[in-house]
Structure 1
Amino acid sequence: MKLIKMSLYILMLAIVMFACNSTDDSFKDQNEIFYTMPEEGDPHEGTWLQWPHQYQYGKTFRNRVESTWIDMTRELVSSEKVYIIAYNQTEKNRIVGLLNDEKIPLENIEFSIYKTDDFWVRDNGPIYVRDKNGKLVIQDWGFNGWGEKTDFEKCNAIPQKIGEQQNLPVINLNTIMINEGGSIEIDGKGTLMACRSSILNENRNPGMTQKQAEDIFTKYLGVTNFIWLDGQIGLEITDQHIDGFARFANNKVIITMNRNDLLDFDVKPLDINKLFKAKNERGEPYKFLKLPLTKNNVVTTYGEDLGYKGSYVNYYISNTKVLVPNYNDPNDSIANSKIQSLYPNRTVVGIDVRNVYKNGGMIHCITQQQPK
C-alpha cells in the first residue's frame, strides 16, 4: 500500500512539474521574437499596387482614381520593380495600354492577375518579414474589410496567392489576428505605434487584450516597445488608422502635425498628449517633424468639395523617391519641402490624390513594399 501511495505521489509530482515547465515554455514562446519586419525605408525589391477596376464600383469610379496609379508607377519604375495586380486579362491589357500611352517603360513592371474587391493593398496585401535566418517570408494577417464594412474575401486571399507565385513561405495568421497594414507603424528598432480602435475592436479581434496583441506583435514583427493611442471606433471606415496622422521617419523622429491640425483631423486631445510624450525602445523621447494640413478643404478634380482638409503624413518611401500626397493646395509645397528635409538622399515627388482621398485614403494606403 505504501509503495502504491509513493508511486502515486511521484506520478502527481511529475505531472505538476511537467505542467509548470509547459506553462513556462508557452510563456517563453509567446514572448519570443520569431520574425522581424524591415522598416519601410530599407532597400526594396519592389512595390505592390492593386490597380483600380470597374467590377466593384463601376467605370466612373475607376476612371476618376486611376491617374494616381499611373503617376505612382511612372515614379517607381526608375529604381525598383512595380508589381501590379490586375483583376483579369482584359484589365491587364487595358493597363498596359494606359502605360504605353504615357510612355512609361514596362521592363520593370511585373503583372499578376488576381481578382480583388478594392485597391487598398497596404491593408490586405502581403507583409514581408525576415525569419531568424534573415530569409524573407510573407505573413498573411487576417483582413475582414475593416470590420466587415465592405466585401473583402477576394482581397484577403491576395497574400497567399503572392506567396505561391513567388515560392515564398506564407505564415497564415488569419486565425491569430485581424490586422491591416495601415493600423501599425514600426520604427525599425523595436517600437510599434497603433490605435487600439482599429485593432482591439469587437469587429476585428473580439475579446483580445492589449497584452495578447503585444505578444503577437512581438513574435511576428519583432517589436518590444509599444505606443498605444486610443483612436476612435466609428471614425471613418478604418476606425482611425495611425498612418493618417503619425508615422516614424526613423527611431528618433515621428512625423505628425501640430496640435490644432491634429484636432482638426479628429485626433482626441488625450491621444495628442500621449503621442507627444512617446519614447523609443531605449526610453528616449522622440523628436517631431510637424506637417501642415492642407490650407483649404480638398476639392476633387471633378469639382466635389469634400468638406475636410488633407493630410500629407500618409506618404510612401521608395528606393530613390518619396511619394507624397498632394491636393492642388498652397500647402503642398510646404509639406513637400519639410518631408524632403528628412530624406536628403531621395527625391520627394507630389502625387495628386484628391479623388483617392474622396474614398478614404492616400499614397501609403495604396502601396506595399517588398524588401530586397
Structure 2
Amino acid sequence: MSRSTVRTGSDTCAVFRRDGRGNLDAVGLNFNGWGRKQAHRDDAEVAWSVAEFNGIAFSEAEFVGEGGSIETDGDGTVLATESSLVNKNRNRGLSRDSIEEAVLAAYGAEKMIWVPGVRGRDITDNHIDVTSRFVRPGVVLVQLPPDDRNDVWARDARQQYAILSTATDAKGRRLQVIRVDGPDHVRSRSSTFVDLYLNFHLVNGAVITAQFGDARTDAAARRTLAEAFPGREVIQLDVDRLMGDGGGIHCSTMHQPVP
C-alpha cells in the first residue's frame, strides 16, 4: 500500500525504505537544485522535514541525486543514467565506482545498471524515470520513439533499450524488456514537453499515467501498462500543463509506504 503527495515531489522528497523486518526509515539524496541550476535552499529541507513530520528515522546518502534519477526493483537492482549522477554539478570529485557504492548503500541494493544518458540538455541531466521503469524484479519497461525520430532523446531511448535488453539483475536474471511506443504527435508546442507514458505513478490499485491525444498510442500504452500491472486500473490524464514545463506525473509525486 502507498500514498503520495504532489507537494513534495520525487526529486526533493526523501526515499522511503524498509529493512528485512519491515521497519521504515527515510534517506535524503542531498538535493542541490538539479546540479545548482536553480535556487534550492528551501527545497533542500523537504526530505528531512517530511521524515520528521511522519516521525520516521532519517539519514543522508553519501552522494547527491534526486528521487527520479534512480529506479529500483526492490530486489537488489537499481538503474540510473551516468549523465545525471556522474556529473560534477552533483558529485564533483567522485568516480562512477564511488557513486555506485554510495547508491547501493543508500538503496540496500547489490547491483547497479548504468546507461549513458544525455548531459546538459534538460534540468535533470536525463533522469532514468522518464524512459525506463521497473515493473517488478526482472521486468522493465522502456519507451521508444517513432522510427522517424533521430534527435538526442530518441537515440538515448534506443540505447537504453539495447543496454537493458542484454543486462542481468542482481539475482542473475536476464531482464525482460517490454517496449512501449511513444506518441506520434502531441497537443503541446512546448520545446520542453515530456511526451512519455512511463513517467507514471503507482497508487493503491491503479497506475496514473498521461495521455497525449494520439488515440492509437494512448490506447496501446494503456493496454501495455494494464498487462504489466494486472489488477491495477490504468488511469490516463491530460497533464499537458505539467509536462509542458519539463516534468511529469512521477516527477511530481513520491511513494510513502504506510507505517
Q: What TM-score comes out, normalization by structure 1 length?
A: 0.64
Distance 1:199 1:307, change over 3 A: closer
What is the alpha-carbon distance in structure 2 between the residues aligned to residue 214 and residue 306 of structure 1?
Answer: 32
| Paired residue total | 254
Other-structure match for 1:48: 5
Instruction: Work out which of the residue numbers 91, 95, 106 in structure 2 matches 1:205.
Output: 91
Instruction: Work out which of the residue numbers 99, 122, 142 in structure 2 matches 1:236.
Output: 122
Distance 1:259 1:361, change over 3 A: closer
- Structure 2: which amino acid aligns with 1:324? T
Matched, 1:329 2:250: no
Once the two structures are superposed, what CA deviation does each residue of 1:34-90 show, in whole Å capped at 9, x if it has no partner?
xxxxxxxxx21x11221xxxxxxxxxxxxxxxxxxxxxxxxxxxxxxxxxx6xxxxx
What is the alpha-carbon distance in structure 2 between the residues aligned to residue 242 and residue 305 of structure 1?
Answer: 21
Other-structure match for 1:154: 42
What is the alpha-carbon distance in structure 1 between the residues aligned to residue 132 and residue 159 of structure 2?
Answer: 15
Matched, 1:178 2:64: yes
Distance 1:132 1:291, change over 3 A: closer
Going by fraction, where is helix more abundant, 1 or 2? 1
Shift of 1:272: 4.1
Extract unaligned runs of 5+ from structure 1.
1-42, 51-84, 86-120
Matched, 1:368 2:254: yes
Q: What SS does structure 2 have at the residue aligned with 1:279?
A: coil
CA contact (8 A) 2:209 2:236 kept: yes
Identity of aligned residues (%): 28
Instruction: Work out which of the residue numbers 295, 316, 320 in structure 1 matches 2:205.
Output: 320
Other-structure match for 1:280: 169
- Structure 2: which amino acid aligns with 1:186? T
- Structure 2: which amino acid aligns with 1:194? A
Distance 1:288 1:169, change over 3 A: same
Q: What SS does structure 2 have at the residue aligned with 1:215?
A: helix
What is the alpha-carbon distance in structure 2 between the residues aligned to residue 324 and residue 307 of structure 1?
Answer: 18
Shift of 1:172: 2.7
What is the alpha-carbon distance in structure 1 between the residues aligned to residue 135 and residue 142 of structure 2?
Answer: 10
What is the alpha-carbon distance in structure 2 between the residues aligned to residue 225 and residue 360 of structure 1?
Answer: 29
Once the two structures are superposed, what CA deviation does each residue of 1:134-163 show, in whole Å capped at 9, x if it has no partner?
311111211111111112111110111122
Q: What TM-score comes out, normalization by structure 2 length?
A: 0.90
CA contact (8 A) 1:299 1:306 kept: no
CA contact (8 A) 1:293 1:309 kept: no
CA contact (8 A) 2:145 2:181 kept: no
- Structure 1: which amino acid aligns with 2:182? L
What is the alpha-carbon distance in structure 1 between the residues aligned to residue 70 and residue 194 of structure 2?
Answer: 23
What is the alpha-carbon distance in structure 1 between the residues aligned to residue 194 and residue 204 of structure 2?
Answer: 29
Shift of 1:258: 3.9
- Structure 2: which amino acid aligns with 1:285? R
Distance 1:267 1:142, change over 3 A: farther
Instruction: Work out which of the residue numbers 145, 163, 180 in structure 2 matches 1:291.
Output: 180
What is the alpha-carbon distance in structure 1 between the residues aligned to residue 175 and residue 160 of structure 2?
Answer: 15
What is the alpha-carbon distance in structure 2 between the residues aligned to residue 292 and residue 259 of structure 1?
Answer: 6
Once the two structures are superposed, what CA deviation does each residue of 1:151-186 show, in whole Å capped at 9, x if it has no partner?
21111101111222112111133xx21110110111
Other-structure match for 2:76: 190
Distance 1:223 1:307, change over 3 A: closer
CA contact (8 A) 1:295 1:309 kept: no
Extract unaligned runs of 5+ from structure 2.
none
CA contact (8 A) 2:69 2:81 kept: yes
Q: What SS does structure 2 have at the residue aligned with 1:332?
A: helix
What is the alpha-carbon distance in structure 2 between the residues aligned to residue 317 and residue 256 of structure 1?
Answer: 16
Shift of 1:278: 1.6
- Structure 1: which amino acid aligns with 2:195? G
Q: What SS does structure 1 have at the residue aligned with 2:42?
A: helix
Of structures 1 and 2, the larger Rg is shown by 1
Once the two structures are superposed, what CA deviation does each residue of 1:13-32 show, in whole Å capped at 9, x if it has no partner?
xxxxxxxxxxxxxxxxxxxx
Matched, 1:145 2:33: yes
What is the alpha-carbon distance in structure 1 between the residues aligned to residue 12 and residue 150 of structure 2?
Answer: 29
Once the two structures are superposed, what CA deviation does each residue of 1:225-267 show, in whole Å capped at 9, x if it has no partner?
1110111211211111111111111112110134756855344
CA contact (8 A) 2:73 2:135 kept: yes
After TM superposition, list the pairs within 5 Å mapping 1:1-372 onto structure 2: 43-44=1-2, 46-50=3-7, 121-131=9-19, 133-173=21-61, 176-258=62-144, 264=151, 265-268=153-156, 270-296=159-185, 298-300=186-188, 304=189, 306=191, 310-330=195-215, 331-372=217-258
What is the alpha-carbon distance in structure 2 between the residues aligned to residue 123 and residue 308 of structure 1?
Answer: 18
